[in-house]
Structure 1
Amino acid sequence: MRPEGGNEAHLWDMRDAAVRLLRIMSGVSHERYATDEVYRLAAERLLQNIGEAARRLPTEFRGEHPKIAWQSIIGQRNILVHEYGEVDAELVWRTLSHDVDDLVRRLDPLISVDPEAK
C-alpha cells in the first residue's frame, strides 16, 4: 500500500511507474517500440512520472543515495516535459532496456514493498 506522504510516497510513486513500465514493455521489441506510437507515448509518460517523483525528493535525501542516477532521471523528465521536439526515442529505448529494472532493484530497499506488488 502506498504511503500517504513524505519521501517514501515519492519513492513508491517512482517504483510504481517503473514496474508498470516494465510490465507494459515486456516482450516489446526495439522495432515495435520504434514503430508503435502507443508504446512510445506510454514509456515517455511513465518516465515523466518517475522523474517528477524523483524531483520532489529533497536534495539531501538524493545525496544520501548516490547509487540512483537522480540527475539523469530528473533531466530526462525535464526533456520529456519541456522539449517535445527534442525527445530522443533511442535514448528512451536505452533507458527502458538498461535502466528501469535496475532502478526498481535500487528503490526496493528504500521502501516497504509488499511482495505481491512486484
Structure 2
Amino acid sequence: MDDATRIRIRDMVEYATKAADMVGERTAADLAGEDMRRLAVVHAVQIVGEAARKVPDAVRERAPSIAWRAAIAMRNILVHDYGDVNLDVLISTVADDFPPLIADLERLLSETNL
C-alpha cells in the first residue's frame, strides 16, 4: 500500500472521529440550531467520503467489511444535494455507522502495518 493510500485511510479515521465527537449526544434539532457545528460535521463527513473515494479498488477489495460505498454515497449527497440533507440521517450515520467504520479502518491500518 502506498503512502497516499495510508494518508487517506488515516484521514478517514481522523475525520470520522472528529465528526463523532462533534455530534456526541446531539439530536437533529440541536444540530439544526448550531450552524457552525452542523457545517463542521457536514465537512468532516464529506472528507471521510472523499478520502474513501480515493482509496484504490484493490485496497477496498481487501477490506470488504468496510462500508466504502456508503461513505462515498453520503459524501455525494452532502455535496450535490446539500439543500436536502436530512439531519436525522446525518446524525445516525455519524453516531451509529462511524464507530464501527473507525474500528474497521484502524484494524486495516494495523493489519497492513500502516
Same structural fold, with TM-score higher than 0.5 when normalized by the shorter chain: yes
The residue type paired with residue 84 of structure 2 is E
Is 1:32 paired with 2:35? no
Show the counterpart of 1:115.
none
Give TM-score scaled by structure 1 length: 0.81
Structure 2: gaps of 5 or more residues: none
- Cα separation, partners in 2 of 1:27 and 1:86, compared to 1, 3 Å: closer
Structure 1: gaps of 5 or more residues: 113-118
**Shift of residue 105, structure 1, vs aligned partner:** 0.7
- What do residues 62-101 of structure 1 show as CA deviations (whole Å, max 9, x unaligned)? 1221111111100110111122222221210110220111
Identity between Structure 1 and Structure 2 (%): 32
- What do residues 5-58 of structure 1 show as CA deviations (whole Å, max 9, x unaligned)? 322111001001012122222343443123322222111100000001000011
- Which of 39, 44, 47 does residue 45 from structure 2 map onto? 47
Following the alignment from structure 2 to structure 1, what is the Cα–Cα distance between the partners of residues 24 and 91?
13
Following the alignment from structure 2 to structure 1, what is the Cα–Cα distance between the partners of residues 84 and 26?
23
**Please, what is the CA RMSD of the aligned residues?**
1.8
Q: Higher mean Cα deviation, 21-30 or 63-72? A: 21-30
Give TM-score scaled by structure 2 length: 0.84
